[in-house]
Structure 1
Amino acid sequence: MRGSHVNPPRVLMQSLGCKTNQYENDALAAAFLAAGFLPAEDGLPVDVAVLNTCTVTGEAGRKSRQMLRRLRERHPEAIIVASGCHAQLADLSALADLTVGTSGRDRIVEEVVLQLETRPDGPRVFLHEPYAYETIAPVSLPSETRAYVKIEDGCDNRCTYCAIRLARGRARSRPAGAIVAEIDALARAGHREIVLTGTHIGSYGKGEDSSLIDLLEQIDKTSAERVRLGSLEPAALSEAFIERAARLKRLCPHFHLSLQSGSDGVLHRMNRRYTAADYRAAVARILRVWPQAGLTTDVMVGFPGETDAEHRESVDFIRELPFTDLHIFRFSARGGTPAAAMPVQVPAEISKARSRDMEQLAEVKRAEAVGARIGERRTVIVEKTENGRHFGYTEDYLYVSLPALSADLAAGSSLDVIVTGREDGKATAKAVLHP
């Protein structure tokens, strides 16, 4: 066996990026445990170190490479494994003993075992074009109250700035039966909330005589307490979708509806396939059924050619809608994407200033969201208790802090609360005590 000769070997798992990456990292960790590996512990040497990389921005790619270097420095005798989106698109063979992109990860454990036994000379690289949905292993995280479940991979859209579709390939859906079985197993293991994730979950079932709402209706029959949707686009929220979703008893009234820009000119250059009016109409459909739904979004600033007027359009558009939170990021040119070659690149100092504008607006929207809910009743699933307070999320995705009822209250406990205000960036609440 290579490295520290510990038997059984220990594996360190790290991940960057999105919820899909986190799910895949958890699934790979489960596969290692099933093969007899032990998780890393402080102070003990590891035999294998795995990094699930990210390439959504230039900074994410840089951080992926930096973390691989650090893993090599800290664990010089370990097998270093690079997987995920950045591993698919960039040459990481100088930084990792084993590189596996976004396909073939079901072979990682087998390949690591082989390397531990044979000590091959030089790095090994497995990069394949993703063509079918790939299952790594069932995920079980008994210490967590929330679990991610991946329902699809890849994307058929061609947003001009996005490298993720280059890394993950075309959209392909996971079989509904496997999804439902995993959710039931997670619920039985104590997970109170299930978050559905993927690259483009609104495309679920495309070409297979199925759809996301068909899947949600099946999931609604499971024992999960809460089901939360990952990122969606306006086209997914049709009148028919909303009408059927309104009848689901487990679906959280929280929608992460990706915007990117409130300017039609910018949206067109991004090839986002909707207008600001389309987005506004989708929000209106949501609010007709769930008047105080949590509404979160992503906003990009500094896209090539974005003028001051287009930036103001975006700011004004966001100001008018009842967003509860915003994720702001600056445009980052990704190799191989049309946007990287667009002629008018926004200077970094202007992009940073626009990001500050949006962050200020985001803080206003967060405060408004809490203010609109003061005095209202919500249910919080407690995630942790520390310093005399419980912390957790409401069904509409407010992160809430409230005075602890007991230091021993188990994570995953549900509490009925009344929203009372906002402090240190979090909503505050008080528990409703039942007789």
Structure 2
Amino acid sequence: MKKLFVHTFGCKVNIYESEVIKDIFLKEGYEIAKSASMADVIVINTCTVTEKADSKFLHLLKKVRSENPSAIIVSVGCFTQLESENEVLKADSDIILGVNNKYDVIEAIREFKGGKFISVPEGKELDYADHELRSFQDHTRAFLKVQDGCDNFCTYCTIKYARGNSRSRKRDSALSDVEYLSQKGFKEIILTGIDLGSYTDGEAYGLFELISDILKYEGFRLRISSVEPWCFDDRLIELFVKEKRICPHFHIPVQSASKRILKMMNRKYSIEVFDSLISKLAQREDVFIATDIIVGFPTEIDEEFEESVKYLESSKINFAHVFSYSDRPFAPSSKLKPKVSQNKIIQRSRILRKVSEAKLHEFYASQIGKEKEIIIEKIVKQADGKFTCSGLSGDYIPVSFETETPYKKGDLAGTTYNNIY
């Protein structure tokens, strides 16, 4: 029996799409290999959000080609969509597919006769590519993708160009998967999309309505992936704050606290509007709020960077994913000058990450002694017959605890948080 190995870079949408690819191969009779070296087919699902993401992919591609020269290597996703002529990509991949046809991988393998098979169709006005997903092998939590693409034009970002226009899954299709996943016993479902807040299925049906309908099904908690700040209205804020089955872990990207930099990024809010949103969401008890901040955007001066540092220190944000700016193909910001030096970007990133880590540990410390519900991801049986279980709480704290109860992976268990994992 032939074996498949899938390596995934990037976001939760990519994780979901890799699971779809696995499901497609399983239906064709493949087994899932434990490593790339044991596989007949290797699929690499790429990310191109930063220059670092590109480098990681190209390094892995050369590595797997060297370690398993007889395998068919299939590269798919955002990097391949934008960089299909990259020399390393073409040299070490047998098959290259883009974002919009990555699910056609079986047909591509059938057509592949040696040499190279490259198919990266342009995609500007696309329909939502709906695929039933019924496996999630080895996952303790299930992903539910309901949206793809983006209609925003943030000047630093190429994902709009890789993914195409914003498009949404039909509600009936999404809710059918929710029903199936709840019946399969998943205790957490992660709702995801490239620009999740833009979800729509008709004029009067948006993200608020979809979440409300999802919560009509019982037996699981719902985690919401990143939502842009301009997508919140009062109804959605109230739902996030009051609905206890929504995990109290929100990711709202800010990118900068500088008014001028936000404008140059083409972000659709002021820092005052953003902070008002965060303050409203922080009304929820024990909520964890994360954000993204880009360091070293072209023309950013020291005083503007300091605005982001001071905002992170003083705001109700608990953690910031700090991204060092890098020029991306097709991104308008790549043409902006003057550039911030690489040394200064590294220095600023270290400063901001130090602040972010301090805020994270401050939040962890504030939660000691509180009751948490944990999705169990790892179980170790001790010599005395007890079990050490570890996993993630609803507010995304890594937790471990000892118990005599023989839990299974994926179970939801209550415990008192008393350690930093």
Please state if 1:379 is matched with 2:373: yes
d(CA) in 2 for partners of 1:67, 1:44:
12
Q: What amino acid is the match of 1:397?
A: Y
Q: What amino acid is the match of 1:103?
A: N
Cα offset for 1:247?
A: 5.4
* Structure 2 stretches lacking a partner, 5+ long: none
Cα offset for 1:51?
A: 0.4
Cα offset for 1:380?
A: 1.6
What's the secondary structure of 1:80's corresponding residue?
strand
d(CA) in 1 for partners of 2:252, 2:37:
43
Corresponding position of 2:96: 99
What's the secondary structure of 1:232's corresponding residue?
coil
Q: Which of 82, 91, 97 is the equivalent residue of 2:75?
A: 82
Please state if 1:49 is matched with 2:42: yes
Corresponding position of 1:400: 399
Corresponding position of 2:106: 109
Could you tell me the percent identity over the aligned residues?
32
CA contact (8 A) 1:224 1:250 kept: no
d(CA) in 1 for partners of 2:344, 2:403:
48
What's the secondary structure of 1:129's corresponding residue?
coil
CA contact (8 A) 2:182 2:219 kept: yes
What's the secondary structure of 1:269's corresponding residue?
helix
Cα offset for 1:407?
A: 8.1
Cα deviation per residue 1:313-359 (whole Å; 9 max; x = unaligned)? 10111111232322111001101111111011110111111111111
Cα offset for 1:132?
A: 1.1
Instruction: Summarize the alignment of residues 73-222 of structure 1 with structure 2, pairs less than 5 Å apart.
Output: 73-90=66-83, 91=85, 92-115=89-112, 119-129=113-123, 131-205=126-200, 208-222=203-217
Q: Which of 396, 416, 421 is the equivalent residue of 1:418?
A: 416
* Structure 1 stretches lacking a partner, 5+ long: 1-7, 427-435
CA contact (8 A) 1:385 1:407 kept: no
Cα offset for 1:108?
A: 1.2
d(CA) in 2 for partners of 1:230, 1:155:
15
d(CA) in 2 for partners of 1:43, 1:399:
29
Instruction: Summarize the alignment of residues 24-35 of structure 1 with structure 2, pairs less than 5 Å apart.
Output: 24-35=17-28
d(CA) in 2 for partners of 1:142, 1:50:
16
Cα deviation per residue 1:147-182 (whole Å; 9 max; x = unaligned)? 211110001110000011110011000111111111
TM-score scaled by length of structure 2: 0.92
Cα offset for 1:284?
A: 1.8
Cα deviation per residue 1:31-72 (whole Å; 9 max; x = unaligned)? 110111121245974321110011001111122222222222
Q: What amino acid is the match of 1:170?
A: N
Q: What amino acid is the match of 1:95?
A: D
CA contact (8 A) 1:16 1:64 kept: yes
d(CA) in 2 for partners of 1:338, 1:198:
23
Q: What amino acid is the match of 1:412?
A: G
Q: 1:244 to 1:19 in 2, by over 3 A?
A: closer
Q: What amino acid is the match of 1:123?
A: F
Q: 1:377 to 1:241 in 2, by over 3 A?
A: same
How many residues of Structure 1 are paired with residues of Structure 2 in the alignment?
A: 411
Q: What amino acid is the match of 1:343?
A: K
Please state if 1:353 is matched with 2:347: yes
Instruction: Summarize the alignment of residues 279-358 of structure 1 with structure 2, pairs less than 5 Å apart.
Output: 279-288=274-283, 290-358=284-352
CA contact (8 A) 1:163 1:336 kept: yes
d(CA) in 1 for partners of 2:175, 2:199:
14
Cα offset for 1:187?
A: 2.4
d(CA) in 2 for partners of 1:43, 1:161:
33
CA contact (8 A) 2:128 2:147 kept: yes
Q: Which of 52, 64, 71 is the equivalent residue of 1:59?
A: 52
d(CA) in 2 for partners of 1:134, 1:35:
20
d(CA) in 2 for partners of 1:391, 1:332:
36
What's the secondary structure of 1:93's corresponding residue?
helix
CA contact (8 A) 1:322 1:365 kept: no
Q: 1:256 to 1:245 in 2, by over 3 A?
A: closer
What's the secondary structure of 2:251's corresponding residue?
strand
| Most deviating of 243-252 and 364-373 | 243-252
CA contact (8 A) 1:220 1:249 kept: no
Corresponding position of 1:259: 254
d(CA) in 2 for partners of 1:42, 1:107:
23
